[in-house]
Amino acid sequence: MPLVILFIKAPEYGRVKTRLVPAFGKAMTLSLYRCFVETTLARLDAFAPLRIAYSPEKKKNVIKEWLSESHEMRPQRGGDVGKRMENALTDAFSEGHAKAVIIGGDIPDLPVGLIDEAFQALTTFDTVFVPVSDGGYCLVGARKGALLTPLFEGMRWSHHSVMAETIKRAKAHNISLRCLAGWQDIDTPDDFLAFARRQESRDDCPALFRKAARILSDNEDYPRDDAHEHADADEAPHP
């Protein structure tokens, strides 16, 4: 049975989505992050089973209090995001899942159709990815038996060449790989504004998202950060 694994980080003041803090402040950024994850979970209702992989391990009670125990929860294991993803996928396969995909909690409008497409791709390909514009990816999937270590081990994360390097490694190790249509994650204020504009016509767009978008629209001098070296890797399977 296919498994969806959602990578999230404990909702701690000043420690999530840190590149949004200069524009929104720590309190609103924390609220936005919580809303990102909750919105993502609501969109994933159609997928079962669903596993939440959280970090850090010592925040288990915080995560359970926030999201209840209605979802299976596991701590992320590994020294860097690559090892954590490899372990999450390997665990899924050892438990009998033939296919698994990992997505992050900071892409609340990732089309569910892309997740369906990812599972379909894994019928033919060893691995599947959804790239993002900063050179990383926001979804990674694999099928049982796929060679994973070369794709994750020793990778320079939080860098604009992650997807390109992943493709290069896959070719070198004869790992079949499918890249789906790209999507947008939310790391910077500009990312958030683009996301909010995609949501503005939706009746179910949370009021918090609209409020945050107004803050940016009313303050065109908000801090901009075009570097791709500081993303919150515990939250998502990309730099």
- How is 177-190 classified by DSSP, letter by letter? EEE---B----SHH
Is residue 213 situated within a structural domain?
no
Is residue 62 situated within a structural domain?
yes
The mean pLDDT value for 49-61 works out to 95
| Mean pLDDT for the chain overall | 91
> Rounded to whole angstroms, how far apart are CA atoms 104 and 76?
13
Q: What is the CATH number of the domain that holds 94?
A: 3.90.550.10
Is residue 86 situated within a structural domain?
yes
Is residue 196 situated within a structural domain?
no
- Cα-based angle 77, 57, 153 (whole degrees, multiple of 5): 20
Is residue 13 situated within a structural domain?
yes
Summarize pLDDT for 34-47 with one digit per residue, the tens. 999 999 999 898 88
Query: What is the domain count for the chain?
Result: 1
Summarize pLDDT for 94-113 with one digit per residue, the tens. 999 999 999 999 899 999 99
Given a cut of 60, whether residue 238 has pLDDT beyond it is no
User: Domain range holding 20?
Assistant: 3-184
Per-residue model confidence (pLDDT) at position 237: 53
Per-residue model confidence (pLDDT) at position 228: 45
Per-residue model confidence (pLDDT) at position 29: 98
Is residue 231 situated within a structural domain?
no
Is residue 209 situated within a structural domain?
no
Given a cut of 50, whether residue 158 has pLDDT beyond it is yes
